Amino acid sequence: MKVLICIGHVPDTTSKIRFTDNASKFDKSDIQFIIGPYEELALTRLLDIKDAGTDLHITAVNVGPVETEATLRKALAMGADEAVRVNAEPLDALFTAKQIAEVYKKGTYDFIVTGKESIDYNGGQVDGMIAEILGIPSIPSASKFEIMGSVAKAEREIDGGKEVVEAAFPFVIAAQKGFAIDPRIPGMRGIMAARKKEILVFEPSEQANITKIIHHYLPEAKSACKKVAADNVEELVRLLHEEAKVI
């Protein structure tokens, strides 16, 4: 079986967020980029399935400029079999989804895996868009995933509960917490092997951008925390009632 896993290239979760060019652009200086945490879980799960004996060929794909190859290289080190980079700035979700759909059509993939959202612009869009462009079903916010012969079984989180689904191939599945427990850390062998693997570079297909990020804001600075003495909880109750008006 062949799977396409969509790897985002995002700022490390501990990054201090800053902007440049009149707050129109994210300031990438001093930022460490990582594989999106949900894609990392997704890839881990695929590798676990493969290690347990399912014949699975894993292609990691990223839409991004040349600097994202370091992130794809990490996916290869974790154990992905090959990598594809579509050479373009991913400025718009529909543009990104279109590129990935094109990569899918060029290969003979059985399904596509993404993360539930990228942690920079928190869209949660690309997975559903790929599925709609290709006209195939999608499984959003999946917290468990198994392949059982010719079908897959997944669990997805819903408002107030969970739902188990059975899926015929192909489909797009978006991984969230639970998909795998801890992300796999690449070993020395993986890192060495990744150096020898080739990253295929495709040029993008035409698709106009219809959305554009034009300005950024940092949250308003919080006023200092009001401290209440531990033996005066009545004062906290009073403040929450009279000042904050939340109880």
Partner 1 sequence: MSVLIYIDNKDGLLKKSAFELASYGFEIAKNTNVDTLAVTFGEIADEQVKLLGKYGVKKVIKIINPQLLGFSAQAYSSVISEVALKESAKIVLFGNNFDGRAFSPRVAVKLNAGLAPAVVKLPSSYTPFIVKKRAFSGKAFADIELSSEIKVLTLNQNSFHIVENPVDTTVETFAGTVPAGAYAVKPIEVTINSEKLSVTDAEILVSGGRGLKGPENWGMLEELAGILGAATCCSRPVSDLGWRPHYEHVGQTGKVVAPNLYIALGISGAIQHLAGVNGSKVMVAVNTDVEAPIFEAADYGIVGDVFDVVPKLNQALKKFKESN
Ligand X SMILES: Nc1ncnc2c1ncn2[C@@H]1O[C@H](COP(=O)(O)O)[C@@H](O)[C@H]1O
User: Could you say which residues in the range 147-166 bind partner 1, by CB under 8 A?
Assistant: 153, 157-166
- The residue with tokens 């009632």 is 241
CB of 200 to partner 1, least distance (A): 26
CB of 143 to ligand FAD, least distance (A): 14
Q: To 5 degrees, how large is the angle CA 168–CA 134–CA 211?
A: 135
Contact footprint for ligand FAD (CB under 6 A): 13, 37
Choose from ligand X, ligand FAD, partner 1, none: what does 226 bind? Cβ within 5-8 Å by kind.
Answer: partner 1
Strand partners, 60: 5, 83
- Could you give the 3-state DSSP secondary structure of residue 193? helix
CB of 105 to ligand X, least distance (A): 16
Does 217 bind partner 1 (CB under 8 A)? Our answer is: yes
- Report the residue number, 20 or 211, with the smaller CB distance to partner 1: 211
Residue nearest to ligand FAD (CB): 13
- Say if CB 62 and CB 71 are below 8 A apart: yes
Pairing of strands 111-115, 172-175: parallel
- Say if CB 128 and CB 30 are below 8 A apart: no
Does 79 bind ligand X (CB under 6 A)? Our answer is: no
Q: On the CB side of 177, how many CA atoms lie within 13 Å of its CA?
A: 3
CB of 198 to partner 1, least distance (A): 32
- Residue range at the interface with partner 1 (CB under 8 A); choices 42-50, 67-75, 188-196, 212-220: 212-220
Report how far residue 119's alpha carbon sits from residue 10's, in angstroms, rounded to the nearest whole number.
7
CB of 86 to ligand X, least distance (A): 8
Does 37 bind ligand X (CB under 6 A)? Our answer is: no
Of 43, 167, 180, 199, the residue at the interface with partner 1 (CB under 8 A) is: 167
Choose from ligand FAD, ligand X, partner 1, none: what does 39 bind? Cβ within 5-8 Å by kind.
Answer: ligand X
- Report the residue number, 189 or 226, with the smaller CB distance to ligand FAD: 226
- Say if CB 107 and CB 200 are below 8 A apart: no
Cβ neighbours for 245, distance < 8 A, ≥ 6 positions apart: none
Cβ neighbours for 143, distance < 8 A, ≥ 6 positions apart: 155, 156, 157, 162, 176, 177, 178, 179
CB of 34 to ligand X, least distance (A): 12
Pairing of strands 82-86, 57-63: parallel
CB of 41 to ligand X, least distance (A): 10
Report how far residue 43's alpha carbon sits from residue 59's, in angstroms, rounded to the nearest whole number.
10
Does 21 bind partner 1 (CB under 8 A)? Our answer is: no
Q: Which residues bind ligand X (CB under 6 A)?
A: 6-8, 36, 38-39, 61-64, 90, 93, 96, 114-115, 117-118, 123-127
